[in-house]
Structure 1
Amino acid sequence: MMLKQILNVALAYVGVIVGAGLSSGQDLMQYFVSFGKWGILGAVILGILNAVFGKIIITFGSYFRSNDHFEVLSQIAGSITNKILDISLIICCFVVGFVMIAGAGSNLNQQFGMPFWSGALLCAVLIILVSFLDFEKITNVIGIFTPIIFIMIMIMAVYTFASQRFDFKELETIANTISTPMPNIWFSVLNYFSLCVMTGVSMAFVLGGSIMRIGVAEKGGTLGGFIIGIIITVTTCILYANVKLATTVDIPMLAIAKQIHPAFAFVYALVIFGLIFNTAFSLFYALAKRFSSNQSKRFYPIMIGTVVVGYILSFMGFKKLVSIMYPILGYIGFIMLMVLLIGWIKERSNVRDEKFLRRKMIRLITKKYDDEQEYTKADKEKFQKLGEDSIVDTKSIKSDIKDLVKEQFADDNK
């Protein structure tokens, strides 16, 4: 049961981060392949950073039981910094959201010849429709494409490196002609990672907030970040090896997939669309959560309104949007990284204490629903005391832990 939860969290986190730019290869071309062999080393370092901060972000969401990013940032950042980051994340969710919609239009146009407007519209409509599902179903939807893209990228890697010989001097020469917004690979790694954090942190906090067990959040975030690292590194290597082809199209990974087989490219195009949808949905969902204060009457009008405006702005074009907007958001993300790191150093012992506190509460309340154990008056008083000591509202933490245990017993009795 717990392993399944960890995997669900990891796959959902990957689904949030792996969007249009990464699965299509467009942002990796500009941020990493443009630096040639050094770009591959940069991708490896990026993967390590993803694993470390994936744990921090998801764990903070679980620790504070957050419904939106503001609930976490208000606890770990000063008032001025919090306001700056809150506004930045709101802008980021919206901007990258409509970049994703643009990516959906480009993807379906390149593979199926669909007009740009129709592919982008399909993505926008799906975002609105899925927002009406409950959060557990949404998490499953977000994670569904992750194992598929992982397997397909590995197939592309085997095909690329088993069937070709490479002139590395030629590859390096072509790679160095690619336009990049970054001055060097180290700055590129930091900027792109900051962008990843800015893109994923709002939804990741919400995702973490849905997890009661902090240990599950820690492991799920770490595993998700590790999987992202593998995907980024392998994809960068594939793009570098096929750089001559990759420089000529908007969706380079799709062009490489076509070399394997048209049917493979067909499936890959659908998977890219799914991943684009995942990221776009996560961003607009997190944005609507931030402005609705968890009130459903306000949530849906905000969700629909922002998606409609995002669809209109997506006509600026995918490739152009990536090159202009991503570096700007990456610079803002430097502040976010520092806040997260400093917050983690300060709160780490409190997070550990809260993790053990919740474990004790779960063990105590399990007695109440287990016919083979006795739930005594002393247990009840201790459960109440632990609830009062939790960082989360006493009534909420008690209710949520009871629901968690009831659900576990229901699953065990199926």
Structure 2
Amino acid sequence: MFKKIMSVALAYVGIIVGAGLSSGQDLMQYFISFGKWGLIGVIVLGILNAIFGRIIVTLGSYYRSNDHSEVLSKISHPITNWILDISLVISCFVIGFVMIAGAGSNLNQQFGLPIWIGALICALLVISVSFLDFEKITNIIGIFTPIVIVMIVIIAGHTLLGQNFDLNQLHHSAVAMESPMPNIWMSVINYFALCVMTGVSMAFVLGGSIIRIGVAEKGGTIGGSIVGFIIALASFVLFTRVDQLSGVDIPMLVLANEVHPWFAFLYAIVVFGLIFNTAFSLYYALAKRLAGESEPRFKLYLIISVTIGFALSFLGFRELVGLMYPALGYIGLVMLLVLSSAWIREKNNVQEEKQLRRRMIKLISKKHKKDQIFTIADKKEYQNLSEESNVQTETIKIDIHDFVQQELSSI
């Protein structure tokens, strides 16, 4: 159980932690530019990430969603649903090509490769990995997350230990930077709404792959908390070196080079992996939404959208972050309101469904264990529970049956 929870948590972090956050560019523009107040802002942001990480992944599990529309159609008014659906489709596409641009900037800054080569490598990886089994995809999404956490901790230790900082001087240097937001509180809300718009489509799909609601709750909470930790630590490190970092595309990579050139080499690869994670998550969710259940159309839409995204990535990473992210963040405010109201409204139903599925798993497990008897009464109770579930009766029965078989085969 713990292994599955952590797999979900790391996959969620992989979805959220993309080019801007792991590179430091988002944090420089949204938080460091407000000086000391920016550091308070990232703490608030971390708390919001933990709360909404739980909400989003849990709702995905509760509704067993294959794409974001399956959740939004149930938790919002038809007009609001239509607006958010269109907004998420646009967000997946736009942030996707910002990620591809970030991949080009990352390899260009560290290795001197032409920007288009890094962007092309990322685009080709997104297309090829999208055709794998979803279980394998989940593992791929989470693979770079623990590595980047360790590396950011190492960068923080190397940058901070034994150093003295003039916080007032750093504050004045930081506020001299240009920010896309008018104040820190609007910056916190806008950036968090942007994070939700970036990750909610794939996070719903991630949650939909989890039959145990308890696993979704814990995985989403831990994943959101890890995101908060990464943001807070990286922000403080960037703040202490704001004088040297204000004009570069990948600020964290500059700090990684100060640790050791080989460490920077590895960090550039990991950042590229995280950029790929987010780009893949966005384009995968976009193609799923457009194609529905049709696998041939899914492949076609994914190839077309990634190809167009690659072409648009030539607009430049830092410029795209400053231009596109604030606009998408404002749209995301509507999403936050919808998710909050849905959670308040459905919280009790989610807990009832959680207990219902737990009981169904326990009952059907008896059927597959030689030392237990699956009685007529058990069969009747199992049928009644499946009819009470918020998921279609036959669908939940098949899902529970498949889940129990997988669990028993792994013992």
Common fold by TM > 0.5? yes
Structure 1 SS opposite 2:266 = helix
CA distance in structure 1 between the aligned counterparts of 2:193 and 2:307, rounded to whole angstroms: 27
CA distance in structure 1 between the aligned counterparts of 2:109 and 2:155, rounded to whole angstroms: 19
User: Which residue pairs with 1:122 in the alignment?
Assistant: 121
User: Which residue pairs with 1:369 in the alignment?
Assistant: 368
User: Which residue pairs with 1:213 in the alignment?
Assistant: 212
Pairwise CA distance, 1:174: 1.2
User: Which residue pairs with 1:199 in the alignment?
Assistant: 198
CA distance in structure 2 between the aligned counterparts of 1:27 and 1:386, rounded to whole angstroms: 47
Mapped pair 1:283 → 2:279 = no
User: Which residue pairs with 1:298 in the alignment?
Assistant: 297
CA distance in structure 2 between the aligned counterparts of 1:380 and 1:295, rounded to whole angstroms: 34
Q: How does 1:98-247 map to 2 (within 5 A)?
A: 98-247=97-246
Structure 2 SS opposite 1:249 = coil
Pairwise CA distance, 1:162: 0.6
One-letter amino acid of the structure 2 residue matched with residue 237 of structure 1: F
CA distance in structure 1 between the aligned counterparts of 2:354 and 2:88, rounded to whole angstroms: 28
One-letter amino acid of the structure 2 residue matched with residue 320 of structure 1: E
User: Which residue pairs with 1:34 in the alignment?
Assistant: 33
One-letter amino acid of the structure 1 residue matched with residue 167 of structure 2: F
Pairwise CA distance, 1:353: 0.5
Consecutive unaligned residues in structure 1, runs of 5 or more: none
One-letter amino acid of the structure 2 residue matched with residue 103 of structure 1: G
CA distance in structure 1 between the aligned counterparts of 2:382 and 2:294, rounded to whole angstroms: 30
CA distance in structure 2 between the aligned counterparts of 1:297 and 1:267, rounded to whole angstroms: 37
Q: Deviations over 1:36-70 (max 9, x none)?
A: 01101100000000000000000000000000000
Pairwise CA distance, 1:327: 0.2
Pairwise CA distance, 1:269: 0.3
One-letter amino acid of the structure 1 residue matched with residue 9 of structure 2: A
CA distance in structure 2 between the aligned counterparts of 1:78 and 1:377, rounded to whole angstroms: 42
Pairwise CA distance, 1:376: 0.8
CA distance in structure 1 between the aligned counterparts of 2:102 and 2:309, rounded to whole angstroms: 12
CA distance in structure 2 between the aligned counterparts of 1:181 and 1:384, rounded to whole angstroms: 55
Structure 2 SS opposite 1:67 = coil
Structure 2 SS opposite 1:392 = coil
User: Which residue pairs with 1:260 in the alignment?
Assistant: 259
CA distance in structure 2 between the aligned counterparts of 1:202 and 1:288, rounded to whole angstroms: 11
Pairwise CA distance, 1:118: 0.4
CA distance in structure 1 between the aligned counterparts of 2:162 and 2:271, rounded to whole angstroms: 24
Structure 2 SS opposite 1:52 = helix
CA distance in structure 1 between the aligned counterparts of 2:386 and 2:49, rounded to whole angstroms: 33
CA distance in structure 2 between the aligned counterparts of 1:30 and 1:70, rounded to whole angstroms: 32
Pairwise CA distance, 1:244: 1.2
One-letter amino acid of the structure 2 residue matched with residue 4 of structure 1: K
Q: Deviations over 1:207-261 (max 9, x none)?
A: 0000000000000000000000000000000100111111121100001111111
Structure 2 SS opposite 1:178 = coil
CA distance in structure 2 between the aligned counterparts of 1:382 and 1:124, rounded to whole angstroms: 50
Q: Deviations over 1:333-362 (max 9, x none)?
A: 000000000000000010000000000100
User: Which residue pairs with 2:394 in the alignment?
Assistant: 395
Pairwise CA distance, 1:16: 0.2
One-letter amino acid of the structure 1 residue matched with residue 136 of structure 2: K
Q: Deviations over 1:293-344 (max 9, x none)?
A: 1221111000100000000000000000000000000000000000000000
TM-score of the aligned structures, taking structure 1 as reference length: 0.99
User: Which residue pairs with 1:319 in the alignment?
Assistant: 318
One-letter amino acid of the structure 2 residue matched with residue 316 of structure 1: L
Mapped pair 1:331 → 2:326 = no
CA distance in structure 1 between the aligned counterparts of 2:408 and 2:294, rounded to whole angstroms: 30
Structure 1 SS opposite 2:371 = coil
TM-score of the aligned structures, taking structure 2 as reference length: 0.99
Consecutive unaligned residues in structure 2, runs of 5 or more: none
Mapped pair 1:251 → 2:250 = yes
User: Which residue pairs with 1:72 in the alignment?
Assistant: 71
CA distance in structure 2 between the aligned counterparts of 1:360 and 1:326, rounded to whole angstroms: 44
Structure 1 SS opposite 2:410 = helix
Extract structure 1 runs of 4+ deviating beyond 3 A: none
Structure 2 SS opposite 1:380 = helix
Q: Deviations over 1:91-113 (max 9, x none)?
A: 00000000000000000000000
Pairwise CA distance, 1:163: 3.8
Alignment length, in residue pairs?
411
Q: Deviations over 1:113-161 (max 9, x none)?
A: 0000000000000000001110000000000000000000001111111
Percent of residue pairs bearing the same amino acid type: 63
CA distance in structure 2 between the aligned counterparts of 1:346 and 1:144, rounded to whole angstroms: 35
One-letter amino acid of the structure 2 residue matched with residue 285 of structure 1: Y
User: Which residue pairs with 2:307 in the alignment?
Assistant: 308
CA distance in structure 1 between the aligned counterparts of 2:60 and 2:134, rounded to whole angstroms: 15
CA distance in structure 1 between the aligned counterparts of 2:299 and 2:126, rounded to whole angstroms: 11
One-letter amino acid of the structure 1 residue matched with residue 150 of structure 2: I
CA distance in structure 2 between the aligned counterparts of 1:205 and 1:317, rounded to whole angstroms: 30
Q: Deviations over 1:76-96 (max 9, x none)?
A: 000000000000000000000
CA distance in structure 1 between the aligned counterparts of 2:301 and 2:39, rounded to whole angstroms: 41
CA distance in structure 2 between the aligned counterparts of 1:160 and 1:16, rounded to whole angstroms: 27
CA distance in structure 2 between the aligned counterparts of 1:131 and 1:122, rounded to whole angstroms: 14
